[in-house]
Structure 1
């Protein structure tokens, strides 16, 4: 059977559930699957006719989480072009890098615009258009598109019926988060996206009766693939926060209003949700099928608190941009054993733990986590060095160190580049993080390696205390001494009120040292 495309999966869901809600902003606007499909078709035709967008051309999208972004993303890929979602909070210099690296030909924003993005686009000679949807009946308006004389194909005439998406069509261009190195461009095809969406829908049993609130930004693969696209391809619905971004104060009201049955986010936001619950509990919480955590390690103590607070199983998963998001996950309670502290078993792909020579490592022994499957990118864009390192022995090398137990569950030890080598002892910062977060007065924490003349590297950590806590360095160290081997105890603790993070809330461990250690030495 020919592999599907993401477009085909969305079309199938629209035909099966035309009148069910697809996407909404509570209290403002909602679209059924049929209405969304019609708006996407019309917008795709407009991109081809009025902007001359050709197959394979890259269209950059910089929006908050809005319905316009959902429509434009789907329209771009339906027109066989490539969508490159960008963080609207980037600086002009960052926009210049990402627009240049993706080789974008057109920038689209919301009607309010984005001064930094537009300045970068103007400097690079890109056209800027603004998208707006006034009501569910449509149409979506695109202001600022070029005149006929500027169209790439001369006349721009391409009928939407000719948008025959192929699994090999490049559809999405994202960059790695850059938590351990310079961001790398990751091209993903319609086939990659379809495979991932099917994997996600299968393991979580997503159906037309499900609903979720999008917590994470849609310029990130976690929110885009797992939150949005997997829901839409299952006939389910998503709600977008009215402010275009996550807000702890409105999260549960939005969840109740949308009839949400699950949500997915990163550990940092789980912690924010827990803190809100502790200080201002809601009068009512929705009955959730499950809560999902991904994109960073979830401390077991946080998992336990989430389950106790909201009465739903917490499923930790493991994902990467290069794999179109999902690689492994703990199963739903009815489908098998959940193992807190593990990231579950492979979902829809092969996984192996390999040594440096490409040999398989026995269960219980650490090695590099490697995968292969229909969801995995074929390679980074214009980066032969990275491709040579990542694609060896017939596998994609994740750069993560892990151990698989006898039941096939993966336990992550750390990133190859993040492991702390203290006098020959390899220390996982994830293990130290978990101990730090187990202290009742610690709100957030991260451990990291710093150069040391005696040991090569030493362990430091940065800690955000809970509000009102007089937590000090000695108390943190005493807690670590009680719960860690002596060589794993941090040498220094930085008490702070802020940690460097990515746009999705993932702590940027690679720059924590320069953020704290260098200023301290200055």
Structure 2
């Protein structure tokens, strides 16, 4: 039984070495070639790191990114897939021991790293390391963290990613895996890396701009996040299956009907609602991640919900999104809590760390009509900072990390905001949420 992507990759290389593993904008890579380069990167990492340390991947979207990611896993490190727009915030939060780049990007990556408050990061060019002899897989367990998914620093285990890849395979069937998403994106990483390794079906990765300008032919099915900005155009290119994606569930939750996991629609009191009624989407299954790195209170609130009256008690992930399940069990998402295009949990994480007086689990970010962003937060017990200090700290942190100017910051006295983000927003709009507390 294979418990990691690295072990599965070695198996693919042994039994189907010269078959195609992935095609990236016309560049074909075989399983044997991919495994050889992954081994080379893992060997180089082993010489300068210890298992369990973190490695940030600042490689441009390319086959080298796939090599870097799988090489980090083979070395027993925790991968940090980094997108181009969140590099400073991600590295500050994740504290990597080493940064992966390419020979062409080492210099600009070093210049970028020199602008950070921390310094001394090692930088490894993944396309410049020589081939190496076989590297035995690090002694990692299925429940060990494989990578951190941002925003939020979601701790995805080896078991999580294998489970979600198998769930995605149920949706895809025997079709080739097609994606236009970068591997720093949760769904892009699942479709472009994990699903091919788990199933042996090759991935076809396109540059988004080229794909929309010159659509390929011969692909019947593709999966897309319901929040994709090019959704209408992509429908014209593919027989598209629109999916509900959450990083906290590794990536894929459902493309209509959930596969291999449970979905419940829940009211504000934590009780399941009848089919056809709207409520918060809760998810439970082997793909649900462990929690947020270094945020135990927020992790407990989001990942460890209990469904009232559940005959078989289990942990549920509270997504904060609204949806409906019909009589057949098909999921429709009716509301996603985006704040000016950002994941609210990302904004909440930033606000929660902006000042030591803030209770980390007592932050809610949401948008009110007109897409105006609001943050509501509670102070820790026994703390009374100078008036205005916490608000200024939160505004500065959010605009620095996200470029987002908040319309309002409501600082509550010691205690927690309402149980859900939706309830907090409703009370704010009703004028029941003030600095004097909840009315």
Pair in the same fold by TM > 0.5: yes
Q: 1:222 aligns with which of 161, 167, 187?
A: 187
CA distance in 2, matches of 1:130, 1:356: 48
Q: C-alpha displacement at 1:129, in angstroms? A: 2.2
- Evaluate the alpha carbon distance shift between residue 297 and residue 218 of structure 1 in structure 2; reply closer, same or farther with a 3 A threshold: closer
1:21-60 equivalent positions in 2, closer than 5 A: 21-25=20-24, 29-49=27-47, 51=48, 53-60=49-56
Deviation at 1:31, TM superposition (A): 2.5
Residue 450 in structure 1 maps to residue 370 in structure 2: yes
**Cα shift at 1:168:** 1.8
1:392 aligns with 2:305: yes
Change (3 A) 1:162 1:11: closer
User: Is the radius of gyration larger for structure 1 or structure 2?
Assistant: 1
Whole-angstrom CA distance in 1 between matches of 2:85 and 2:290 = 29
Name the residue aligned to 2:71. 75
Distance 1:286 1:317 in 2: 22
Aligned residues: 343
Alignment partner for residue 325 of structure 1, among 251, 266, 271? 251
Q: 2:265 aligns with which of 344, 348, 353?
A: 353
What CA distance in whole angstroms lies between the structure 2 residues aligned with 1:247 and 1:413?
Answer: 29
- Write the mapping of 1:77-476 to structure 2, written as runs, cut at 5 A: 77-90=73-86, 94-95=87-88, 97-113=89-105, 117-119=109-111, 121-122=113-114, 123-133=117-127, 139=130, 160-176=135-151, 184-206=152-174, 210=176, 212=178, 214-240=179-205, 245-248=207-210, 251=211, 273=212, 276=213, 285-296=216-227, 309-310=236-237, 312-329=238-255, 344-390=256-302, 391-393=304-306, 394-415=315-336, 449-450=369-370
C-alpha separation between the residues in 2 aligned to 1:295 and 1:15?
Answer: 37
Q: For residues 234 and 86 of structure 1, what CA distance do their matches in structure 2 show?
A: 25
Preserved contact between residue 78 and residue 165 of structure 1 (Cα < 8 Å): no
TM-score, with structure 1 as normaliser = 0.59
Cα pair distance change 1:512/1:22, threshold 3 Å: farther
Q: 1:213-250 deviations in whole A, cap 9, x for unaligned?
A: x4212111111112332123322333555xxx5333xx
- What is the match of residue 503 of structure 1? none
Q: Which runs of 5+ in 1 are unaligned?
A: 142-157, 177-183, 252-272, 330-343, 420-446, 457-507, 515-522
Q: Deviations over 1:353-411 (max 9, x none)?
A: 11122211111111110011111112111223422331311211000111111111111
Note if contact 2:39-2:131 (Cα within 8 Å) is conserved in structure 1.
no
Deviations 1:249-279 (A, max 9, x none): xx3xxxxxxxxxxxxxxxxxxxxx3xx47xx
SS at 1:30 equivalent = strand
The change in CA–CA distance for 1:140 and 1:127 in structure 2 (over 3 A counts) is: farther
Given the superposition, is the C-alpha separation of residues 240 and 132 from structure 1 closer, same or farther in structure 2, using an over 3 Å criterion?
farther
Measure, in 1, the Cα distance between the counterparts of 2:406 and 2:141: 43
1:4 alignment partner in structure 2: 3
3-state DSSP of counterpart to 2:98: strand
Measured on the aligned residues, the alpha-carbon RMSD in Å equals 3.4
2 CA distance for matches of 1:349 and 1:40?
A: 31
The CA deviation string for residues 196-222 of structure 1, in whole angstroms up to 9 with x for no partner, is 111112221146xx253x421211111
> Per the alignment, in what secondary structure is the counterpart of residue 28 of structure 2?
strand
